[in-house]
Amino acid sequence: MATVELNGSAIVDEASFHVESRRAFGFPESYADSIDAWVDCMSYLRDDENMTKFTLKQNEVLEIVITDADKMKAAVPDLFEEIAFCIGGINERYEDYGDEPALELVLR
């Protein structure tokens, strides 16, 4: 299982979330620093689109670990919930295409 860590204590607003996501996921220069762009990039984990530094195999899962998740949740509760919601939606998208879910959210 591939793993990536987001530093929850560094995420205090949407802008810092995108900075941390760029660092952790290796998004392309064209990444638009928006939730829609984040979802788009995370939807190509099993393709050769180079939208992240990860290319997952058929049934492989990317474990997204948010360290200091309690600090992120306290600082940006709406964003925290939106990210969890988006991960669920991305997994549904994979299932709609006949694939296994690709993401797992782990809070530490």
Tens of pLDDT, residue by residue over 67-96, are: 999 999 999 999 999 999 999 999 999 999
41: Cβ contacts below 8 Å, ≥ 6 apart: 25, 27, 28, 31, 51, 52
Q: What is the mean pLDDT of the chain?
A: 97
Q: What is the CATH number of domain 2-107?
A: 3.30.370.10
- Residue of 16, 103, 21, 15 whose CA lies nearest to 62: 103
Judge if pTM exceeds 0.85: yes
Domain boundaries, the chain: 2-107
pLDDT, residue 69, reads 98
